[in-house]
């Protein structure tokens, strides 16, 4: 019942509701777009991700050589995965995608053998991570505890950029390892080979977030506008109702004064009647003198005696 009364009260304020719809539409528009001069540009609410995997191998592949073990290569893969998050490798990755190394936020894997208290980041490290979370270009590197593989996960504003970032990470790791091997003149048979297990593939993450956010902002703003409209209307009614009783005594005051003066007018009205009586008596005495008859005073005094 109360809800029906609210709907009816809002229906009577059509102009306020129309303004509320416009305000809600403007808020929803600005939630997914931003002003850039005189034009609107979409906000970076959605992002794309891509992934690929590399295999840390030898020149004579360990996959087909039973005399070789995976364990040394697995430890090397973990070391490479952590090293790929260093500024040196990030600088090489940035050169391939047209970015500066500090524009890319990267995080390496966590060693499961390290105690948890050591794994937890310090306050300074966490501040760096929080700052990096707002960076649109991200790289995460994971290592398999049983296989000499490195998982590469890239994030960028578009799908093409995320795929390019993941492939650049593989190429940069291979470039850096080869440069070290060349500098130390490592024999070809003893060199590490970085093999990419297929090209990177990716897609858009949460593609409908813009529409969902716009609808949510519109509903919230419109509901708040309706609540403010009802409160302001009832406040005005209460204000008018509280002001009307105070003016009533001021209007009734002249009537009270007139009522109090009524007896004085009646008393004043009696005075002319007494004046007429004395006037008639005086006129009667003058008539006696004119006719020559005995004066009324003598008659009155004789009868009174």
CA 223/CA 20 separation, integer angstroms: 9
How confident is residue 167, by pLDDT bands cut at 50, 70 and 90?
very high
pLDDT above 80 for 115? no
Q: What is the DSSP letter of 140?
A: E
Cβ-in-10-Å burial (0-12, 13-18, 19+) of 80 comes to buried
pTM greater than 0.85 (yes/no): no
150 closest CA partner among 161, 135, 160, 139: 139
How confident is residue 90, by pLDDT bands cut at 50, 70 and 90?
very high
Task: Name the token pair of 7.
Answer: 């709907």
Cβ-in-10-Å burial (0-12, 13-18, 19+) of 272 comes to exposed
How confident is residue 244, by pLDDT bands cut at 50, 70 and 90?
low
Helix (H, G, I), strand (E, B) or coil at 71: helix
């Amino acid at each position: 019942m109360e809800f029906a009364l609210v709907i009816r009260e809002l229906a009577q304020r059509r102009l306020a509701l129309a303004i509320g719809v416009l305000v809600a539409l403007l808020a929803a528009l600005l939630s997914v777009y931003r002003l850039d001069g005189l034009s609107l540009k979409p906000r970076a609410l959605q992002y794309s991700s891509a992934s690929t995997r590399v295999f840390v191998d030898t020149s004579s592949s360990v996959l087909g050589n039973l005399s070789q073990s995976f364990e040394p290569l697995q430890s090397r893969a973990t070391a490479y995965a952590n090293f790929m998050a260093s500024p040196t490798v990030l600088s090489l990755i940035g050169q391939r995608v047209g970015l500066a190394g500090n524009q890319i936020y990267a995080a390496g894997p966590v060693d499961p053998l390290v105690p948890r208290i050591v794994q937890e980041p310090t306050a300074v490290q966490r501040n760096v991570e929080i700052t990096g979370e707002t960076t649109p270009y991200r790289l995460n590197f994971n290592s398999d505890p049983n296989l000499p593989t490195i998982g590469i996960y890239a994030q960028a504003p578009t799908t093409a950029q995320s795929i390019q970032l993941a492939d650049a990470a593989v190429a940069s790791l291979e470039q850096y390892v080869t440069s070290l091997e060349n500098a130390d003149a490592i024999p070809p048979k003893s060199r590490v080979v970085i093999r990419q297990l297929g090209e990177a593939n990716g897609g858009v993450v949460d593609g409908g977030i813009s529409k969902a956010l716009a609808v949510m902002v519109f509903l919230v703003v419109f509901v708040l506008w309706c609540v403010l409209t009802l409160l302001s209307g009832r406040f005005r009614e209460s204000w008018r109702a509280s002001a009307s009783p105070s003016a009533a005594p001021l209007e009734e005051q002249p009537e009270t004064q007139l009522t109090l003066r009524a007896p004085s007018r009646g008393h004043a009205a009696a005075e002319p009647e007494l004046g007429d009586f004395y006037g008639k008596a005086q006129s009667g005495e003058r008539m006696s003198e004119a006719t020559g008859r005995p004066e009324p005073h003598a008659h009155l005094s004789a009868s009174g005696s």
